[in-house]
Structure 1
Amino acid sequence: MAETHTQPIPRVKLGTQGLEICNVSKLGYGCMGLTGVYNAAVPEDVVTSLIKHAFSKGITFFDTSDFYGAQANEVLVGKIATKFGIVKRDENDSVVINGSPEYVRSCCEGSLQRLGVEYIDLYYQHRVDTTVPIEDTMGELKKLVEEGKIKYIGLSEASTDTIRRAHAVHPITALQMEWSLWTREIEPDIVPLCRELGIGLVPYSPLGRGFFGGKAITESIPANSHLLFL
């Protein structure tokens, strides 16, 4: 029987000014679904097995957040990349966004403790708080870089104007946006801007949140899955 060989996952530099020392895998592992965001929470032993398996296959880019599973996701994942900015749901069940400098710092300190690390490689603003000037948010993030608590700064779901203003305060290493066959709105403006500024683009839900995953995927969706309502 012929031997089978696994092709290593390519490494890429995220942006022209980011993650130079440790380039990341071209494929990332989004950990949002592990603690019950899209479906029922995955048992901890299974989470551990999944992350170890992904790492053994060459994945070095893991994405988590203090908002996923009420901070449980960070505790489980314990490394690589995290986000801040989505606080909780208020009494009207709507998402509350907070980008104030004070909240930025408190989130970072909390994430460092839960992740069990001295610094965070890539720290995203999960969603932009339109009530706080992006210059104020970025100013605090810049201080955290200077203090050695984070290495690089990322944005998520930001407009072209916000990206330019943020980048003027401190270089943005990565921008996270939804990008798939059915979400292509970023192609006319966002993609060219990232190329111009040297920002690495990190697409999330590239398979349309599972829709383009194939018949076997769609037929195996659990009855309580968020994907059934797409």
Structure 2
Amino acid sequence: MAKVGRMKLGSQGMEVSLQGLGCMSMSAFYGPPKPEPDMISLIHHAIDSGVTLLDTSDVYGPHTNELLIGKALKGGVREKVELATKFAARVVDGKFEVCGDPSYVREACEASLKRLDIDCIDLYYIHRIDTRVPIEITIGELKKLVEEGKIKYIGLSEASPSTIRRAHAVHPITAVQLEWSLWARDVEEEIIPTCRELGIGIVAYSPLGRGFFSSGTKITDTFTKEDYRQHMPRFQPENLQQNQIIFERVNELATKKGCTPSQLALAWLHHQGNDVCPIPGTTKIENFNQNIGALSVKLTPEELAEIESLADIVKGDRSGSEPTWKDSDTPPLSSWKTA
């Protein structure tokens, strides 16, 4: 198997693999944590295959996914990867909250460095935007961490166009992470053009529709009580049958191309531009191998148009109650008061 190639992410000098590995499902949200030795083997297999962008967050577990990654990076592995983690989303008294206070920025970064057992984070994202704190305040503290050598590059996740612009004015943003797939295309109208105008790389999470494009409605049979996808609108019975039509169409097109539906969905994203890095997650080596196989699937303009026409029939909101970029604008700097 040929090694996965490289790409420039953003315009600040960062280079990553053409496809990354989302590590969340190894530890959280998509069912119970998976066996640690198996996940470390998977991570090492990914790196050996050329997939070197590893994506995690302090809230995955919480904390356990970073600890797992830290163990996987032992023995000279650290130098082979670009490590991305996130902060700002946290669990307090059993509930999620978002915090962008400068003191918390530093506290979270120090804690992630310790769990990962590294000296510097390659790409540090604000996981969700704190609407109570001007983005300039949060980025200002991240800028200090860059100057101190604790992080190399700054990223945003689920940020609105105005928040991206305001953040980028304080310190160059290397990447914006967003949900982008055949059934999550709302970012194409404003967010993607904003990133391209500013020279910011695009990292697409959930590029397989949170697993939907791997097996369609059958994926719900695998959900455990710990799997939060069972609460998401698009997986509800009233929406699922409609969305199955999309999967069936994708499956038909994939059969014609001699690839799998998930490979077709990923190939479509790879064709969106050389500034796009999808980060599909998996817990199985065979699925990982299938995902990187998408890089060899070439699509004609006519095939791309046929695939894109499916987006109009998606039913259900993409994330339910989770805060997304549409409500992530932060207040102006003048309105923020320190305690």
TM-score, structure 1 normalization: 0.91
What SS does the aligned partner of 2:202 have?
strand
Match in the other structure for 1:84: 87
> 1:80-119 counterparts in 2 under 5 A?
80-90=83-93, 93-119=94-120
User: RMSD across aligned C-alpha pairs, in angstroms?
Assistant: 1.7
What SS does the aligned partner of 1:99 have?
coil
Deviation per residue, 1:150-187 (Å, 9 max, x gap)? 00000000000000000000000000000011110110
Indicate whether 1:218 and 2:219 are aligned: yes
Alpha-carbon distance in structure 1 between the residues aligned to 2:218 and 2:192: 29
Alpha-carbon distance in structure 1 between the residues aligned to 2:219 and 2:189: 31
Q: 1:138 is matched by which residue type in structure 2?
A: I
Cα pair distance change 1:35/1:17, threshold 3 Å = same
Deviation per residue, 1:77-129 (Å, 9 max, x gap)? 12611100012144xx5421000000000000111111111111000000000
Alpha-carbon distance in structure 1 between the residues aligned to 2:88 and 2:146: 17
Match in the other structure for 1:52: 44
Alpha-carbon distance in structure 1 between the residues aligned to 2:218 and 2:52: 25
What percent of counterpart residues are identical? 56
Deviation per residue, 1:114-151 (Å, 9 max, x gap)? 11111110000000000001000000000000011100
Cα pair distance change 1:216/1:96, threshold 3 Å = closer
Alpha-carbon distance in structure 1 between the residues aligned to 2:109 and 2:48: 28
Alpha-carbon distance in structure 2 between the residues aligned to 1:111 and 1:217: 36
Deviation per residue, 1:58-84 (Å, 9 max, x gap)? 110001111001211101112611100
What SS does the aligned partner of 2:208 have?
coil
What SS does the aligned partner of 1:87 have?
strand
> 1:156-171 counterparts in 2 under 5 A?
156-171=157-172
Match in the other structure for 1:142: 143
Cα pair distance change 1:38/1:217, threshold 3 Å = same
Alpha-carbon distance in structure 1 between the residues aligned to 2:220 and 2:127: 31
Alpha-carbon distance in structure 2 between the residues aligned to 1:206 and 1:148: 32
Conserved? CA contact 1:210–1:227, under 8 Å: no
Q: Which runs of 5+ in 1 are unaligned?
A: 1-5
Alpha-carbon distance in structure 2 between the residues aligned to 1:123 and 1:42: 25
Match in the other structure for 2:155: 154
Higher normalized helix content (fraction of residues)? 2
Cα pair distance change 1:172/1:218, threshold 3 Å = same
Match in the other structure for 2:5: 10
1:38 deviation in Å?
1.2
Structure 1 or 2, whichever has the larger Rg, is: 2
What SS does the aligned partner of 1:186 have?
helix
Q: 1:137 is matched by which residue type in structure 2?
A: T
Alpha-carbon distance in structure 2 between the residues aligned to 1:223 and 1:122: 32
Q: 1:81 is matched by which residue type in structure 2?
A: A
Alpha-carbon distance in structure 2 between the residues aligned to 1:51 and 1:160: 33
What SS does the aligned partner of 1:74 have?
helix
Count of matched residue positions in the alignment of Structure 1 and Structure 2: 220
Alpha-carbon distance in structure 1 between the residues aligned to 2:23 and 2:131: 26
Q: 2:40 is matched by which residue type in structure 1?
A: T
Candidates 24, 27, 46, aligned match of 1:32: 24
1:56 deviation in Å?
1.2
1:220 deviation in Å?
6.6
Conserved? CA contact 2:2–2:49, under 8 Å: no
Where does structure 1 differ by over 6 angstroms across 4 or more consecutive aligned residues?
Answer: none
Cα pair distance change 1:220/1:61, threshold 3 Å = farther
Cα pair distance change 1:190/1:219, threshold 3 Å = closer
Match in the other structure for 1:3: none
1:215 deviation in Å?
5.5
Q: 2:86 is matched by which residue type in structure 1?
A: K
Indicate whether 1:191 and 2:183 are aligned: no
Match in the other structure for 2:315: none
